[in-house]
Amino acid sequence: MNSFDTPDLSIVSPCFNEEDGLREYHRRVSATVAPLCIAYEIVLVDDGSRDRTWDIMQELAAEDPQVVCIKLSRNHGQQLALTAGLSACRGYRVLILDADLQDPPELLPQMMELMDQGAEVVYGQRRHRAGESRRKLFTSALFYRFINRLTDVRIPQDTGDFRIMSRRVLDLFLSMPERQRFVRGMISWLGFRQVPLLYDRDARFAGETKWGLKMLVKLAIDAVTSFSTRPLKIASLLGVAFGLASFALLGYALISWLFLGAVEGWTSLMMVTTMLGGIQLLVIGIQGEYLGRLFDQAKGRPLFMVDQVVGGGRLKAVEAPVLPARSAVPTLMTRQKAVPSAL
């Protein structure tokens, strides 16, 4: 394959502190793709790792011309690292695969077959998850229920970002300029023929999960606020409900003042003020979540900053990728371009 040709398949993996698993990842991915006799590339994105991940990536790129490595300027989080890889890859089809080998690359042939049968997206749906703590399973179940209850897009239960998609879907995805990127939700939202593939999720090959409870809560809020304005409606409904309740209370207070010789109701006063105060704060908080995201979006900063690209003579290709919707895609900044011109 000439490195400037369009490969049949790109495999994109964000990596954050994955030094122990990367070689095994490369071995298993290569062993799966080689028999398919297709032109492919493996796009690894180093999301500001603090261990030897980048060194190992460079070694892999030196050994295997199929490997392209992108080093982000710092940790951007999985969803943005993934977006960086997706905007740099060039394949007709693109497989998103975690670097920790929790999702078996060996499913690729099955996924390709479903694509051949006309699917635009084939997403892995977990039947069983090995090696996950009970807390992780619980938070993850809660996460999907919460999102599906609050958003209009149906995000299939128990799916991750593990999926293969066509170039057409990928280009549409890349034309979506939002900052808060909830990749699997955005792809679901696009529509087309999306087909599940059931599989058993393995335990991590090495290292540990980077998704703590805090990050999951952030992802859930991102998911809900980017796909739904229902929380704002809930906020106004709460406002209406408490407005009505306060009218009733007003009536009660008047009646007791006029006819019942009211005793100063400290308790009820306390209850009403604290409750109303709480609800008001909640409503302001919900509005703030949206406002904050609007603010982020309005700044229009690049989604990610690229420090270095190594592998397969691809630097040129990454600087000028053939993406139709490129104007809408945040620019990939190379190290040279990142220096402000005023300096």
User: Binding partner of residue 143 among ligand UDP, Mg ion, none, CB under 5 to 8 Å per kind?
Assistant: none
The binder of ligand UDP chosen from 7, 11, 12, 16 (CB under 6 A): 16
The residue (of 3 and 73) whose beta carbon lies closer to ligand UDP is 73
When asked if residue 41 is in the footprint of Mg ion (CB under 5 A), the reply is: no
Site for ligand UDP in 188-227 (CB under 6 A): 209-211
Cα-based distances in Å from 14 to 3, 91, 93: 21, 17, 17
3-state secondary structure the chain: CCCCCCCCEEEEEEECCCCCCHHHHHHHHHHHHHHHCCCEEEEEEECCCCCCHHHHHHHHHHHCCCEEEEEECCCCCHHHHHHHHHHHCCCCEEEECCCCCCCCHHHHHHHHHHHHCCCCEEEEEEEEECCCCHHHHHHHHHHHHHHHHHCCCCCCCCEEEEEEEEHHHHHHHHCCCCCCCCHHHHHHHHCCCEEEEEEEECCCCCCCCCCCHHHHHHHHHHHHHHHCCHHHHHHHHHHHHHHHHHHHHHHHHHHHHHCCCCCCCHHHHHHHHHHHHHHHHHHHHHHHHHHHHHHHHHHCCCCCCEEEEECCCCHHHHHCCCCCCHHHCCCCCCHHHHCCCCC
Q: Is 147 in the site for ligand UDP (CB under 6 A)?
A: no
Closest separation between CB of residue 257 and ligand UDP, Å? 59
Residue window 19-38: x/- pattern of binding to Mg ion, with contact defined by CB under 5 A:
--------------------
C-alpha–C-alpha distance, residues 120 and 93, integer Å: 9
Name the nearest CA neighbour of 32 among 42, 22, 45, 46.
42
Residue 129 touching ligand UDP (CB under 6 A): no
Work out which of 47, 100, 132, 222 binds Mg ion, going by CB under 5 A: 100
* 8 Å CB contact between 104 and 165: no
Q: Which of 82, 305 has the CB closer to Mg ion?
A: 82
Q: Does residue 311 bind ligand UDP (CB under 6 A)?
A: no
Q: Total residues contacting Mg ion (rule CB under 5 A)?
A: 3
Question: What is the maximum alpha-carbon separation in the chain?
Answer: 92
Identified binder of ligand UDP from the candidate list 9, 11, 18, 181, rule CB under 6 A: 18
Does the footprint of ligand UDP cover residue 100 (CB under 6 A)? yes
Q: How far is the CB of 15 from Mg ion (least distance, A)?
A: 11
- Does position 102 bind Mg ion by CB under 5 A? yes
Task: Report yes or no: 21 and 100 within 8 Å, Cβ to Cβ.
Answer: yes
C-beta of 188: minimal distance to ligand UDP in Å?
A: 18
CB of 14 to ligand UDP, least distance (A): 3
The one among 14, 105, 185, 231 contacting ligand UDP by CB under 6 A:
14
**Closest distance to ligand UDP from the beta carbon of 202 (Å):** 10
Write the interaction track for ligand UDP spanning residues 75-94; mark x where CB under 6 A is met and - where it is not: x-xx--x-------------
Q: Cα(276)–Cα(272) distance, rounded to whole angstroms?
A: 6
The distance of closest approach from Cβ of residue 82 to ligand UDP in the complex, given in angstroms and rounded to an integer, is 7
| Binding region for ligand UDP (CB under 6 A) out of 11-19, 111-119, 235-243, 312-320 | 11-19
Partner from ligand UDP, Mg ion, none contacting 47, C-beta within 5 to 8 A by type: ligand UDP
Q: Restricting to residues 241-260, which ones interact with ligand UDP according to CB under 6 A?
A: none
Using CB under 6 A as the criterion, which residues of the chain lie in contact with ligand UDP when the complex forms? 13-16, 18, 47, 75, 77-78, 81, 98-100, 102, 209-211
